[in-house]
Amino acid sequence: MPTGTPDVLLRTEGRAGFITLNRPRAINALTHTMVLAVDRALTAWEHDPAVTTVVIEGAGERGLCAGGDIRAIHDDARAGGTASEAFWRDEYRLNARIARYPKPYVAFMDGIVMGGGVGVSAHGSVRVVTERSRVAMPETGIGFVPDVGGTYLLGRAPGELGTHLALTGGHVGAADALLAGLADHVVPSTELPALARDLTRLPADEAVSRHTVTPPPGVLAEQREWIDACYRAETVEAIVERLFDTGVPAAKEAATTLLAKSPTALKATLATLRRSRALTTLEEVLDLEFRVSCAALTTPDLVEGIRAQVVDKDRDPHWTPPTLPEVTDADLVRFFAPPPGGDLGLHP
């Protein structure tokens, strides 16, 4: 019988412990309480010899997890509160823990997997996507910057694929998730119940191998030439200019997409991504992202972006400042300063 909390259901069956994110109406968006519940489960099962594999999945038909509860972040930012900073401290620590977990951590990345959903899945040791998967770090569209170790993952994608995905916020399907290093295996969504049963009695690798298939081709491999050429430019402005100049329709579409995002978030994202590439460990990157996230919390664009996309849903954000040239290098300095509440401190 499941235990845990109403929003995080826990059960053990055979050799496996199952974590089910259980807010299906919100596509299982993460709250602080949910993060703490997952962490407690990992602690208990790490020291339980009967549990040899941990599985995380999402309730409902829509996806594993759409990210953090951004309505709560919106309200906290408007009020000038500290709840979001406290949430991120525990969430990022959980992301690091998942990456270092000593037992197989199997993530069913079915359906929508975005933002914080990537954080609780793509750092795992066994990452399973399906034909329904839509994996993304869409933060620039709400005036935010990819976090939860997103810049670590995307910064290590082949060529400039990660830069493209981080700036545009575009989602990828199964084949492209494998290409970008966000997943390891493709299993048909209809096979997930059978895979879950096999995980209760077999080693994780053996269980997954019984259900793995080769996905249809994605789109990113064919787009590598213009993606790599355009996104290696030094600035966001230069990236946009190159995209428009390629003559490739998909590149022009990407440029148009970028011009609709928060100019401040785009420049902060590019700077964060390139700094993260110079770092060695996930913990170092999470420390960096924590600084950036706390700074973003105080910008007008985060509140405005969430308002436009989630609260009022008019899809008409008014960014401050409204254009890329108006965001200066001096404006970006504060994104990398220690936050008032102190650094995360994952890396010594």
Beta carbons within 8 Å of 68's beta carbon, 6+ residues apart: 29, 30, 87, 91, 115, 116
Residue 134, classed as helix, strand or coil, is strand
Q: Which helix (H) or strand (E) holds 151?
A: helix 150-155
Q: DSSP for 211-250?
A: T--PPPP-SHHHHHHHHHHHHTSSSHHHHHHHHHHT--HH
Residue 133: which of 109, 115, 117, 157 has the closest Cα?
Answer: 109
Q: Are the C-beta atoms of residues 10 and 95 closer than 8 Å to each other?
A: no
What residues are annotated to the active site?
68, 116, 139, 147
**CA dist., res. 147 & res. 151, Å (int):** 7
Q: Which helix (H) or strand (E) holds 17?
A: strand 16-21
CA 126 vs. chain centroid, Å, equals: 16
CB atoms within 10 A of CB 67: 27
